[in-house]
Amino acid sequence: MSQATELAAAAGSTDPRVGLRAVRALRRLLERLEVVQVDNARRQGWSWQEIADALEVSRQAVHKKHAGRPAVGSSWEA
């Protein structure tokens, strides 16, 4: 079972401590995945507008969040 699958299962726990810890971990994983995929898109020549459309956010929001930060490697694993 993958880490993401285990976290998703834990997020449905009836124990709030377990569930909320899993939600926090899933948020962190999601953030890392977004960074990797935005970097992949930029390396492939995508515009900020194309990335924003794919994420269903404004161009300004995605640019503010990701422009100017150092690019990460192509692997999302920490």
pTM: 0.80
Residue 43 lies in a domain: yes
pLDDT tens per residue across span 13-62: 999 999 999 999 999 999 999 999 999 999 999 999 999 999 999 999 99
The pLDDT value recorded for residue 2 is 86
Q: Which domain holds residue 41?
A: 3-67
Distance CA 71, CA 34 (A): 12
Residues 6+ apart with CB under 8 A from 28: none
What 3 state SS string does 4-51 have? Answer: HHHHHHHHCCCCHHHHHHHHHHHHHHHHHHHHHHHHHHHHCCCCHHHH
Residue 76 lies in a domain: no
State how many domains the chain has. Answer: 1
